[in-house]
Structure 1
């Protein structure tokens, strides 16, 4: 057997992308839709199907529906792709997270209630051949052939791809974020697949929004980061976002405007995690919620909150807290 004729064994470190600010435009590039789900490698094998997370964790127990589809494919292959749960025409990240935590009968019940989809965008092995040394254009052609040959239906899905940068730029419209497309990944048509290498490029769709400063980390007079909230229909201030470290200019400006809050602040004694899915608790200081800031965020939005840290851009001194959209309401386009 040659170098490219061996069975891949999990875990494998997937090829990844570095973030860029401007869509690259050059001959020989392919653009894929970037989905808001779990990056996974799917080992389609009748005897031992396997689902691996980006960091190598075995996700198989939580997704028996995907394992069955992999076992029943009819040929051996290893796919790279995104795992999502789609409900009412949009990605439901919370349902995906919940499914990943279930096993056994609870996993089967969750699969029936919240079916998952595997969105394939690359091919690492087909039959006895390890295809990673092949250029992307050939791997993509083989991937499309598999979908055609087996007439694959849900839970299988083929990731949209184009070589037209203008068409791909549509995926940067925040409107796509409402259905779960959070941007694009750019790959060279001649690129091989190199595990662990940050050889691709990615852009996330971003939009601006407003929220009320409810608490800070660091000193109130010179905050490191902002905890941002919106009022719900009952008038309760709810956390919607945590900012990345603010710029020195904004730190000085907003530090002069903030006032430490008293014990009657709605977030007094609250415990906020430092990130989505983490257990670390933030050391925050409540402030009087009378200042509005504008921030820039990607479209990873779930249950009324932005999952990733946002970039606070400026104070909106002309806006009152009651002029900010309510918790759970869509932002104006």
Structure 2
């Protein structure tokens, strides 16, 4: 088997399949099979106007806002239908970034990726496909792929890698390279218990001196958990997060059970580029170490990106 790979960009959006049928039906569905067509009328209209019948695409829905990918706008748009969806399309227009071809008059999932990619590029060229349908950049040149890393400042998570001879698989089989950076944040709460913390909730102070929630960590190692247990102090008096609730993560309504602590311990973490509109980290941060040598006042302010790679 050949191990030559092609790199393509990983966007900060929703994975989705787009199908245009011979009877002029259009279906936009999530990886889990949820029908999202009514929420994105501009994508449906573009598919009707531009795609040949009996075409199936795999790609990602993205929304740009202020030159940055806005994942939370996609979430807001999913709840809109009818007139609400049309208004949202004007306010937060989406693009469908296409990175694979699965149907072209017949099932092409058995073709090697190199052949599917060539057919996908021909589809865009021959039919003049244009925004909001967008062809995802792709290359076999490592130097070009390295240049794409600069795009992470706009919220692009990094390149993905596919073998040129592999068939299409519905479950993602390619490797992803996520750009991560190290930075510091203040521990404001923990899950688990103070004696055995499982994860930490992290904050940063804003310019008004208020501790804002910026994100949570992945599960702590036993070593890190034990080290933290000796440093954390239960909250006394009024905590800046008193009465707040924290979600277990994107796409779930489950609320975390947390224990507030005095915001006086700094942790160094690794984070990727995914942010919401307020600057919070969309994915859990990876704990590196407790920074007893760093004062809370030295932690970057909320909204600042002072991380270094």
Q: TM-score range by the shorter chain?
A: over 0.9
Question: Counterparts of 1:195 and 1:258 in 2: how far apart (Å)?
Answer: 45
In structure 1, what is the Cα distance between the partners aligned to 2:126 and 2:8?
Answer: 22
Determine whether 1:64 maps to 2:41: yes
Instruction: Normalising by structure 1, report the TM-score.
Output: 0.87
CA distance in 2, matches of 1:326, 1:78: 45
Contact residue 181 and residue 307 of structure 2 kept, 8 A: no
1:187 aligns with 162
Mind listing any 5+ residue stretches in structure 2 that lack a counterpart?
none
CA contact (8 A) 1:44 1:73 kept: no
- 1:74 offset after TM fit, Å? 4.5
* 1:2-21 aligned within 5 A: none
Distance (Å, rounded) in 2 between the aligned partners of 1:330 and 1:296: 13
Do structure 1's residue 317 and structure 2's residue 292 form an aligned pair? yes
> Which residue does the alignment assign to 1:89?
67
196, 205, 209: which one aligns with 1:231: 205
Say whether residues 1:29 and 2:5 are aligned partners.
yes
Partner of 1:326: 301
Q: Aligned residue for 2:101?
A: 123
Q: Which is worse superposed, 60-69 or 83-92?
A: 83-92
Partners of 1:150 and 1:165 lie apart in 2 by 30
How far is 1:332 from its partner? 4.7
Name the residue aligned to 1:206.
Answer: 180
* Compared CA separation, residues 74 and 324, structure 1 to 2 (3 A): closer
TM-score normalised by L of structure 2 = 0.94
SS in 2 for 1:99: helix
Q: Secondary structure at the match of 1:105?
A: helix
Alpha-carbon distance between aligned partners in 2 of 1:74 and 1:290, rounded to the nearest angstrom: 57
Aligned positions of 1:81-160 closer than 5 A = 81-127=59-105, 129-160=106-137
**Following TM superposition, by how much is the alpha carbon of 1:166 offset from its aligned partner in structure 2, in angstroms?**
3.5
Using the TM superposition, name which of 317-326 and 87-96 deviates more.
87-96
2:151 alignment counterpart = 176
Contact 2:194/2:232 (8 A) holds in 1: yes
Q: Secondary structure at the match of 2:120?
A: helix
Runs of 4+ in 1 over 4 A off after TM superposition: none
Equivalent-residue separation in structure 2 for 1:90 and 1:28 (angstroms): 32
Query: Any residues of structure 2 matched to 1:246-325 within 5 Å, and which?
Result: 246-302=220-276, 303-325=278-300
| Mapped pair 1:220 → 2:197 | no
Q: Which residue of 2 aligns with 1:44?
A: 20
Deviation at 1:268, TM superposition (A): 2.0
Cα distance, 1:36 vs structure 2:
0.6
The answer to which of 261-270 and 34-43 deviates more is 261-270
Q: Structure 1 CA distance, aligned partners of 2:51 and 2:100?
A: 18
Deviation at 1:112, TM superposition (A): 1.0
